[in-house]
Amino acid sequence: MIDRLQFLLALAREKHFGRAAEACGVTQPTLSAGVKQLEENFGVLLVNRGSRFQGFTPEGERVLEWARRIVGDARAMHEEVQALRHGLAGRLRLAAIPTALAMVETLTTPYRARHPNVQFTTYSRTSTEILGLLENLEVDAGITYLDNEPLGRVTAVPLYTERYCLLVAADAALAGRERVTWKEVAQVPLCLLTPDMQNRRIIERLLRDTGANPHITLESDSMILLYSHVRTRRWASVMPSRLAATLGLTDVLRAIPITEPEASHTIGLVAPAREPMTPLTAELVAEARRVARVLAD
């Protein structure tokens, strides 16, 4: 039964019988049969199909919701029993927005100190992707914006507030300033994330709101690429202050706070709102609350 429900979850995220089957490690006929068997159990069609996957029926959507819960609980049960046996152990899967990647360490380092047998996998994803991954139990927790898009059924722990600064070489035009305005920043050619990233959209919105037409000379979905460019001192960027400091960019470049308006966004940990949480996730949430106290401005 539970494996059938997992088939259904895979189908929901892959929207394709073949790929869903592959994701489950079975062949396509097996997955088809599994779904069909669920449908026979319920006496209701769950999936609309022509010659291809066409989404779920209303009943299918409901079953899907239950499947998420039941499969999640089954995993949590397993994890909890293992924790009773060997202490906290296993793999914690995280997803973080690129601008938060550098601060994941502030969670994982103390976590690992407490629980040396826990391993981590961290994905760099957009904020909307993170919510999708959480929804489908593909990650245990995410680090993303808490105050923008609707979060859905999650537990959220605010971690820190993102404020923005302009990063320029010491010999650049604005380098001497104590603070700059978004209008001034809009005149500088910048390295930024790609437009599918919320951070980029936030910054671009702030720039455009001044009436200017910003020059995004270079964009990437990879922070390391932006970092390596900016570090040469030949490129400028706008980054969250904390991120620039963590990366050591403030040693090499001038980091000038941007005002008018003074924009800020809250970044935090989000985990599926399930009661009880898996032991690994519960411990991560606890760690996040501790870290939040340390980071508090």
> What is the three-state SS of 128-195?
HHHHHHHHCCCCCEEEEECCCCCCCCEEEEEEEEEEEEEEECCCCCCCCCCCEEHHHHCCCCEEEECC
Q: Which is nearer to DNA, 67 or 207 (CB)?
A: 67
Q: Is 264 among the residues that bind DNA (CB under 7 A)?
A: no
70 binds, among DNA, a copy of itself, none (CB under 5 to 8 A by kind): a copy of itself
32 binds, among a copy of itself, DNA, none (CB under 5 to 8 A by kind): DNA
Q: How far is the CB of 234 from a copy of itself (least distance, A)?
A: 56
* Entry field: residues in the chain: 297
The site string for a copy of itself over 65-104 (x = CB under 8 A, - otherwise) reads: -xx-xx--xx-xxx-xxx-xx-------------------
Cβ contacts of 278 within 8 Å, gap of 6 or more: 75, 76, 79, 80, 140
Q: Is 135 among the residues that bind a copy of itself (CB under 8 A)?
A: no
Say which amino acid occupies 5.
Answer: L
Q: Which two three-digit tokens encode residue 177?
A: 């300033």
Q: Is 41 among the residues that bind DNA (CB under 7 A)?
A: no
**Residues forming beta bridges with residue 265, ordered by sequence position:** 162
Contact 210, 186 (CB under 8 A): yes
User: Which residue among 30, 121, 148, 222 contacts DNA (CB under 7 A)?
Assistant: 30
53 binds, among DNA, a copy of itself, none (CB under 5 to 8 A by kind): DNA
Sign of CA dihedral 69, 72, 74, 79: negative
Q: Which is nearer to a copy of itself, 73 or 138 (CB)?
A: 73
The site string for a copy of itself over 33-72 (x = CB under 8 A, - otherwise) reads: --------xxxx-------------xx--xx--xx-xx--
293 binds, among DNA, a copy of itself, none (CB under 5 to 8 A by kind): none
Q: How far is the CB of 35 from a copy of itself (least distance, A)?
A: 14
Q: Is 29 among the residues that bind DNA (CB under 7 A)?
A: yes
CA distance 154 to 134: 9
CB burial of residue 125 (10 Å; 0-12, 13-18, 19+) = buried
Q: Is 18 among the residues that bind DNA (CB under 7 A)?
A: yes
Closest CA to 57 of 34, 73, 38: 38
Cβ contacts of 58 within 8 Å, gap of 6 or more: none
User: Which residue among 13, 22, 28, 72 contacts DNA (CB under 7 A)?
Assistant: 28
Contact set with DNA (CB under 7 A)? 3, 16-18, 25-30, 32-37, 47, 49-53
* Interacting residue ranges for a copy of itself, rule: CB under 8 A: 1-3, 41-44, 58-59, 62-63, 66-67, 69-70, 73-74, 76-78, 80-82, 84-85
